[in-house]
């Protein structure tokens, strides 16, 4: 799954740790999402979308294997 998470985080000058704290997840989870090694649960995807004021599909797109 492709993600704009790194770009959105960088636009706000947030570290991975800061974003993780805002979402109540670990920094490792943020890293895994940004490097496309982990797909978020639906609940986490909704929390991310709400935090950035975007729709889920504006942040996450199907990858090559979708």
Q: What is the pLDDT of residue 50?
A: 98
DSSP state of 4: -
Q: What is the 3-state secondary structure (H, E, C) of 27-66?
A: HHHHHHHHCCCCCCCHHHHHHHHHHHCCCHHHHEECCCCC
Instruction: Specify the DSSP element, H or E, that contains 19.
Output: helix 16-23
Q: Is CATH 3.40.50.1000 what the domain over 2-53 is classified as, yes or no?
A: no
Q: Which of 55, 49, 54, 6 is nearest to 30 (CA)?
A: 6
Quote the pTM value.
Answer: 0.90
pLDDT in tens, 5-39: 999 999 999 999 999 999 999 999 999 999 999 99
User: What's the pLDDT band for 63 if we cut at 50, 70, 90?
Assistant: confident
């Amino acid at each position: 799954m492709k993600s704009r998470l790194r770009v959105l985080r960088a636009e706000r000058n947030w570290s991975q740790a800061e974003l993780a704290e805002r979402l109540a997840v670990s920094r490792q989870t943020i890293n895994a999402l940004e490097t496309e090694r982990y797909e978020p649960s639906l609940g986490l995807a909704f929390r991310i979308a709400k935090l950035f004021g975007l729709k889920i599909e504006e942040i996450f797109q199907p990858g090559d294997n979708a």
